[in-house]
Amino acid sequence: MTLMGKIIKKENLKRLFDDVSREFKVIAPVKKGEDYVLSEVESFSDVVLDYPTTILPPKKFLLPYKEPIFAFDAEGFKDLIPDEKIAFFGLHLCDANAIGRLDLVFWNDPYYRARRDRMLIIGISCKPTETCFCKSMKANSLTNACDLFLLAKDDKYIGFSMTEKGRKIVSQLYFEPETVNVEEVKIEYEEKLSLNLYKVERKILEDYNNPVWDETAKKCLACTNCTVVCPLCYCFDVVDETFIFPGEGLRFRCWDSCLLLSFARVAGGHNFRRDLKARYRNVYTHKFKTYIDEFGVPSCVGCGRCIIFCPANIDMREVLFKLGGV
Amino acid sequence: MRPKVAIFDLTDCEGCEVQIVNSKLIDKVLEGVEIVHFRLGQRVNRWEKFDVAFVEGAAITSDELELVKKIREHSKLVIALGSCACFGGIAAINNFMDLDEAKRYVYGENADKIEVLYVKPLPEIIKVDFMIRGCPITPEDFERVVSDLLAGRIPREHTRPVCIDCKSKENICLLLKGIPCAGPVTYGGCGAPCPSAGMPCDGCRGPLEELQMSAELELLKKIATKEDIVRLFRKYAPMASMFKEVGGGKL
Ligand code: SF4
Ligand code: SF4
Ligand code: SF4
Ligand code: SF4
Ligand code: SF4
């Protein structure tokens, strides 16, 4: 498939930003201390276009930390379907493709879908770091998870529109009239540790009792930092909070983690994954086996966040390497 | 008839009672329950059958031990309010030193006139139906427990560590900066105010239902002295299971 790109000069990015912010609440990478976070921005000058990765992924806006989903009182209940229009400005391909992979799971979820239908995603080129492994996870190509992708080229960007929303944008006058054709848009680089997805998938079940699970679970704090920062971890819990005065309540969906003891506990107290080892392994079987069986792609885009933010220095790539997935 | 509620305090700072008064729903709560005993909050108090008694603080004298037993006899439900009641709190630092020496240090020549016992958390003295943890508790935890009880529901336990709150606020983990933090083993739900302000979690809400203490200690030993680790777990929830051993120097 040939992709047709249109050039936009750096100085015109601000016009693109202003245009988008007229219609959307714009979420872009900004600086927080020494690090970067995705945050609502009002002025283009706050946007950082060259950043390694953000602490939390875009999921914090799609599946918020603690989201009220309906309110109830003695009369009945009221669905709280969100109606905000969000535009991501400057997502790396891994994060945009992670949204594409979340869609596979949440497309029929009314709360997710309401946000997603109104959403605009503008991706941007990145500079791979030593924790990146999006190539191994087949998440380094441009897909229609991005409405528009801005590929850095010398002192300009080439804008590739992947959807109708994107096409409307590149037809604006701040894009140059001439076009550039390419076969595909892909982030190419040498990964520090490359994995073979096919082998990973096979090894996970074949080597169910590999000592690596014991070894790693022994080091793991079950702190959930890795699942919280993962753009594709979506384990959640549902809690009701009732306020007897004045007699109303809210139902929330909030982040949970399959690494925690309570997650696989069912009524009556039985727990399907009593040991941390079983729970730790579950992260991998879900990401690299059952998800692939179901959707054809892993539930990992190789963004590297789980590696960067693990206080115990556990590296998912090394675990998969020891398993023989290279 | 409105449920009858009592709020008692033992040896403590009264901070958790203040948090009750800080609740935004306090007016509503007062409409819905009758407070029959609350030394800090009202002038006229009486003993009768309580539907719920909240007990704040640690029992460190024999009078307080008697009081606790009397409260239990008078109450359908007893709720431990805050980490002093749940886990001994700050006062339980005594338990890790020579009691006479500690008394002499604080009270000087009057030491002999003062009675101080080994500090037992409330659940070691009487049956406790529920705990509201924290030093201090959050008003939200109080509101939730009261609302759940009035709705006839068992208050829900929090099942996630402080880290999940902490990372949701996009803090860079203190452990990665070489600062010892008890977040991974601590019962969350506080919103991680301490790490969000750059200070470690001192485990004030006590241990999570299951915790990876050996992994936590392995990691802490790489970045902190034994003394620092002991101090971290001895601070606010020293009599909690798992914290007690580390606070006592077993690591
Ligand atoms: S994981 Fe891939 S897309 Fe993401 S930042 Fe690294 S190189 Fe870029
Ligand atoms: S598992 Fe790790 S590398 Fe993969 S998407 Fe999640 S955080 Fe990124
Ligand atoms: S971040 Fe590291 S220590 Fe924490 S749960 Fe994940 S793998 Fe375990
Ligand atoms: S700073 Fe403390 S609470 Fe926050 S993630 Fe790290 S260990 Fe957990
Ligand atoms: S972060 Fe830790 S010490 Fe601070 S309030 Fe929460 S549980 Fe207590």
The model's pLDDT over A259-303, given as tens digits with 9 standing for 90+, comes to 999 998 888 989 999 899 999 999 999 999 999 999 999 999 999
Report d(CA A261, CA B149) in Å as an integer: 25
With beta carbons under 8 A apart, name residues in chain A contacting B159.
237, 256, 260-262
Q: Phi/psi of residue A196, each to 5°?
A: -105, 105
Kindly list the strands in the beta sheet with B130-132, ordered across the sheet, starting from the edge strand earlier in the chain: B34-38, B4-9, B50-56, B75-81, B130-132
Option in A55, A257, A262 nearest B170 (CB) = A55
3-state secondary structure of A216: helix
Query: What's the pLDDT tens digit per position in A111-159?
Result: 999 999 999 999 999 999 999 999 999 999 999 999 999 999 998 999 9
Q: Which chain A residue shows the shortest CA-CA distance from B149? A: A244
**Alpha helices (H) in B38-159, listed in sequence order:** 62-74, 83-87, 99-107, 139-150
pLDDT band at B150 (very low <50, low <70, confident <90, very high): confident
Respond yes or no on whether the N-terminal peptide bond of residue A177 is cis (omega within 30° of 0).
no
Ligand 4 atom at minimal distance to the Cα of residue B181? 2
Cβ partners under 8 Å of residue A111, min gap 6:
A67, A69, A80, A81, A82, A253
Q: Phi/psi of residue A181, each to 5°?
A: -105, 135
The whole-number average pLDDT for the span A174-189 is: 94
Report d(CA B214, CA B184) in Å as an integer: 12
DSSP state of B172: P
Q: Is residue A34's pLDDT more than 90?
A: yes
Report whether B238 contacts B244 (CB < 8 A). Answer: yes
Report d(CA B230, CA B244) in Å as an integer: 9
Distance A312 CA to ligand 3 centre (A): 6
Identify the H or E element spanning B227.
helix B226-234
Q: Is A225 in the pocket of ligand 3 (CB under 6 A)?
A: yes
Q: Is residue B73's pLDDT more than 80?
A: yes
The backbone region for A138, taken as left when phi is positive above 0, alpha when psi lies in -120 to 50, beta otherwise, is left
pLDDT band at B29 (very low <50, low <70, confident <90, very high): confident
The answer to whether A244 contacts B146, with C-beta atoms less than 8 Å apart, is yes
CB atoms within 10 A of CB B216: 28
Ligand 2, residues at Cβ distance < 6 Å: A 229-232, 287, 300-306, 316
Please report where in the chains the tokens 């030193």 appear, as a residue.
Answer: B97
Report whether A305 contacts A230 (CB < 8 A). Answer: yes
- Write down the pTM of the prediction: 0.95
β-strand A156-161 against A148-153: which pairing, if any? antiparallel
Option in A224, A243, A245 nearest B161 (CB) = A224
β-strand B75-81 against B50-56: which pairing, if any? parallel
Ligand 2, atom 2: closest residue by C-alpha:
A306
pLDDT band at B28 (very low <50, low <70, confident <90, very high): confident
Q: Is B10 in the pocket of ligand 4 (CB under 6 A)?
A: no
pLDDT, mean over chain A: 95
Burial code (b: 16+ CB inside 10 Å, e: under 16) for A37-60 equals bbbebeebeebebebbbbbbbbbb
The whole-number average pLDDT for the span A81-94 is: 98
Name every residue in A having a CB less than 8 A away from some CB of B. 32-35, 37, 55-56, 60, 65, 218-225, 228-229, 237, 239, 241-246, 255-257, 260-262, 276, 309, 311-312
Best A215, A223, A236 member to test B by mutation, with max B CBs in 10 Å, is: A223
Report whether B28 contacts B53 (CB < 8 A). Answer: no
Q: Is residue A246's pLDDT more than 80?
A: no
The whole-number average pLDDT for the span A106-111 is: 98
pLDDT band at A208 (very low <50, low <70, confident <90, very high): confident
Report d(CA B94, CA A312) in Å as an integer: 33
At residue A253, the pLDDT reads 97
Query: What's the pLDDT tens digit per position in B89-140?
Result: 999 999 999 999 999 999 999 999 999 999 999 999 999 999 999 999 999 9
At residue A76, the pLDDT reads 94
Ligand 4 atom at minimal distance to the Cα of residue B174? 1
Option in B183, B210, B219 nearest A261 (CB) = B210
Class of domain B4-150: alpha beta
Q: Is residue A245's pLDDT more than 80?
A: no
Option in A225, A228, A276 nearest B212 (CB) = A276
At residue A187, the pLDDT reads 95
Chain region(s) in chain B for CATH 3.40.50.700: 4-150
Q: Is residue B58's pLDDT more than 90?
A: yes
